[in-house]
């Protein structure tokens, strides 16, 4: 069903890309570590591959399926890592003023 030639194929591809973007936000919310984003992204897509294999009773062999999932994996990992690194690199406020006036 994935393909550029049919409207349902284009809609499915757009759904996969939007899913990668929302999962990148999930990485920011749940993982919060830039170094772990690639690991969790590959793990999620590996479990999706296993689920597709079990559901369809055969290994996915179409080129478009693999291209869409490779692009979505890269997109999710890069955007998730970028968002996590922005949070990690925020300045830590150091107040040297005393907390109370005694």
pLDDT for res 40:
94
Plot region of 62 (φ>0 → left; ψ -120 to 50 → alpha; else → beta): beta
34: Cβ–Cβ under 8 A, 6 or more apart, which residues?
81, 84, 85, 88
**pLDDT more than 70, % of the chain:** 92
- Please give the DSSP secondary-structure letter assigned to residue 61: -
pLDDT tens across 72-83, in order?
Answer: 999 999 999 999
pLDDT tens across 25-63, in order?
Answer: 999 899 888 889 999 999 999 999 999 999 999 999 988
pTM, two decimal places: 0.81
Please compute, for residue 63, the number of CA atoms within 13 A of its CA located in the half-sphere on the CB side: 1
Task: Give the span between the Cα atoms of 43 and 45, in whole angstroms.
Answer: 6
Hey, what are 67's tokens? 């291209």
């Amino acid at each position: 069903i994935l393909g550029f030639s049919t409207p349902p194929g284009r809609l499915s591809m757009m759904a996969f890309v939007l899913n990668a973007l929302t999962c990148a936000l999930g990485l920011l919310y749940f993982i919060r570590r830039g170094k772990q984003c690639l690991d969790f992204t590959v793990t999620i897509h590996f479990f999706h591959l296993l689920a597709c294999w079990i559901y369809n009773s055969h290994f996915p062999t179409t080129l478009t399926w693999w291209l869409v999932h490779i692009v979505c994996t890269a997109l999710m990992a890069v955007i998730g890592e970028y968002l996590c690194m922005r949070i990690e690199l925020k300045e830590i406020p150091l107040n040297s003023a005393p907390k109370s006036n005694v």
